[in-house]
Amino acid sequence: MSKRKIFDVALRKITMTRLGLYLITPPLYSLSIEPTSSCNLDCVMCYSKKEKNGFMSWSLFTKIIDEIKSRKDIGIGLNFSGESLLHPKFKDMLEYIASSGIQNISLNTNGLILTSKIAETFLNCSKGTMVFSIDGLEETYKKIRIGSNYEKVIRNIEFLLQRRKEKGISKPYAAVNLVKSNQSQQEINDYIAYWIDKVDYVSTVEQLGPDLRIVSKNDVISKQLQKGRMLCLWPWRYLAVCWDGRITLCCHDLEGRAILDVNANEGISKIWGGGEYNNVRWQHFKKDFSSLDLCRSCEAWVATYIPSKLNRLDNGIFVWRKGLSTYYSKRPESLGIKP
């Protein structure tokens, strides 16, 4: 961990005390930027049903990057509720972020319209991760990812991996993610076996419903929830900018239920250290969710308090349980962990 990150972690802990919260603004650790809220698929478990969709303007996008570029280590997630590759200037967005000196650029995508030009640009600009949302092998995938083309997505991933190999680079990383729904454990095992030697890591994650309750709870999750509500860390480390400049404090807020009464045109730093965000932190600190509709029913906060567990299997696969996700990898450095 770098000295800057150690400092940020220490500072954040201070701001999570009553006096620290009053005196200090926590460092912004992660920022999601939504190029578009539109999507080209209709996945069965997706609860993002916004009435209005659109594309972020170039002027707003560059304003955001210009403001935050002094924080070279900030994590940029170039996606939120939609499929970012639909934005006509997505390639330009990648290049603009890279030109600012920020390299920790990550992307979650369904991969269907990943072109060779976008793949090349991502390889040239990012030291982060491209995560492909693939919720099973072919038969299961086609039942879940309505409107997609399994064979085409696989070809697009293979192209990205081949070009990375030809370039002789190890970053950006490539990963696949499975949201647990009705897959059997055998299906999940087969999925991991198929991908484990192809990508840097495979992840499986518990499914959340529209109210952010966990759809299917295992014993570890249930035990932690029974202890009672604890502090959610997102207001201390993260914000998301929607395509129209609106701000939400939660990465799971795909329906816009935690939108704040501010706009990115006012300035990210001003918003992050401003009255409304501070008020949200105070409400979380006091566990008063009476005016925070989405937070009131949310169970995703429990991810912070589930003990992480790392195992190495006999076949050389590292299994890392962290929060609501489980990661499988033969390259643990891609997960930022040292075995």
Query: Which tokens in the block code for residue 339?
Result: 């075995």
Of the given ranges (4-13, 109-118, 318-327), which has the lowest mean pLDDT? 4-13
- Give residue 101's pLDDT: 95
Q: Of 49 and 328, which is predicted with more confidence?
A: 328
Q: Are 29 and 8 contacting, i.e. CB atoms less than 8 angstroms apart?
A: yes
pLDDT above 70: residue 82: yes
- Reference 235, options 258, 208, 256; nearest CA is 258
pLDDT above 90: residue 17: no
CB atoms within 10 A of CB 153: 22
Task: List pLDDT tens digits, range 102-118.
Answer: 999 999 999 999 999 99
- Helix, coil or strand: residue 324: coil
Look at phi and psi of residue 216 and say left if phi exceeds 0, alpha if psi is from -120 to 50, else beta. Answer: beta
pLDDT above 60: residue 1: no
Helix (H) or strand (E) holding 252: none
Look at phi and psi of residue 138 and say left if phi exceeds 0, alpha if psi is from -120 to 50, else beta. Answer: alpha
- Give residue 12's pLDDT: 75
Whether pTM > 0.85 for this model: the answer is yes
β partners of residue 30: 75, 238
Quick one: DSSP state of residue 216? S
- Peptide linkage before 172 cis (omega within 30 of 0): yes
pLDDT above 70: residue 204: yes
Q: How confident is the model at residue 49 (pLDDT cuts 50, 70, 90)?
A: low
10 Å CB burial of residue 309 (0-12, 13-18, 19+) is exposed
Residue type, 76: I
Residue type, 67: E
How far is residue 221's CA from residue 214's CA, in Å, rounded to a whole number? 9
When the pLDDT of each residue in the chain is averaged and rounded to a whole number, the result is 92
pLDDT above 80: residue 5: no
pLDDT (mean) for 292-307: 92
Q: How confident is the model at residue 45 (pLDDT cuts 50, 70, 90)?
A: confident
pLDDT (mean) for 279-283: 92
